[in-house]
Structure 1
Amino acid sequence: MALVDEAREVRERAYAPYSNFKVGAAVRGQSGAIYRGCNVENVAYPEGTCAEAGAIAAMIAAGETELIEVAVIADSPEPVPPCGGCRQKLAEFGRSHTPVLLATVSGKTLATTVGELLPGRFEVAHMAGTE
C-alpha cells in the first residue's frame, strides 16, 4: 500500500468534531516500517494533536528516530501543508531532502521536501557552545 493510501485510511479515524477537518499522515521510518497518525481535536483547541505529530509519535514509540518519507492528506481544494510546529517536528526526525507528499482526497498532490517546507530550520548545531 502506498504511503498516501496509508494516510488516507487513517484520516478516516481522525477525531475532528469541532472543525470536521480530518487529516491523515503516514511516515516511513528508516527500517521501512510505516507509522500513521490522524488529527485529534480537543474542545480546548490548542490542546489538539496534528496528524503529523501523531505519526511521528508512533514512530518514536516503535523505537525509530529517523523518517525517510512523509505523506499528508486532507479534504481540501488544494494540498494542505503542515503547520509550523509540525514542520519543525518533521525537520527534527527527517533530513532536508526527505520527500513529503501533500495530497487531497480528490487526488491532487504536491511533492515537496522537509527542507522546502522549512528553510533555515533550527537544528542542534545552532546550540553548539551553549552550556
Structure 2
Amino acid sequence: MNINLDLKKIALKVATPKQLNGYIGYGHVGAAIQTDAGNVYTGVSIDTACSLGFCAEHAAVAEMLKHGECRVKAFVAVDSQGNALPPCGRCRELISQLNKHNRNALVEVQNGVVVSLAQLLPYDWKEHLPNPW
C-alpha cells in the first residue's frame, strides 16, 4: 500500500507550530485528507492548556464536510518535521463514521507504514448494528 507523497507534503505545509498565547498553541500537527473525488483538505491541531483543543484530522474533516464530501480515500497527519503520526482513536472513529467506505481509506501510521482504517479498527462496533447508511 502507498500514500501519495504529495499528500504528506501538503500536510507538512500546514504543520507550522505557533503559540497564540500562554494557553493555546496550534499547527504542531498538520493533516491532509484526500477524498474519493480527488480533492484534498487540510487541518491543523489546536492544543490548549485545559484539553479543549482538537486534532488536525478533525480540522481537515470539518473542511471536507464544509465542501459536501465525506468519502475518504487516504489521509495522513505529520509533525513539523514531516514525520507521519498515527491517528488517535477519536480521529479513527470520526472518519469511520462519516461513510462506511472510509474503512478502506489508507493512512500512514508511521513513516513508510501504510494501513487501511479497517486495520486500525479491527473490532468495529458499527459492524454489529443495523446499517444506518
TM-score normalised over the length of structure 1: 0.77
Partner amino acid, structure 1, of 2:38? G
* TM-aligned CA distance change 1:120 to 1:7, over 3 Å: same
Q: Deviations over 1:53-104 (max 9, x none)?
A: 111111011110111111111258x74311111111122235332111245x
How many pairs are equivalent?
Answer: 122
1:2 is aligned to: 6
* TM-aligned CA distance change 1:91 to 1:15, over 3 Å: farther
Partner amino acid, structure 1, of 2:59? G
Does residue 122 of structure 1 match 2:122? no
Partner amino acid, structure 2, of 1:30? D
The question of whether the paired residues in 2 share the 8 Å contact of 1:14 and 1:38 is answered with no
* TM-aligned CA distance change 1:79 to 1:71, over 3 Å: closer
* TM-aligned CA distance change 1:82 to 1:23, over 3 Å: same
Query: Residues of 2 paired with 1:34 and 1:49: CA distance?
Result: 20
2:88 is aligned to: 83
The question of whether the paired residues in 2 share the 8 Å contact of 1:27 and 1:71 is answered with yes
Unaligned runs of 5+ in 2: none
Query: Residues of 1 paired with 2:17 and 2:66: CA distance?
Result: 19
The question of whether the paired residues in 1 share the 8 Å contact of 2:16 and 2:27 is answered with no
TM-score normalised over the length of structure 2: 0.76
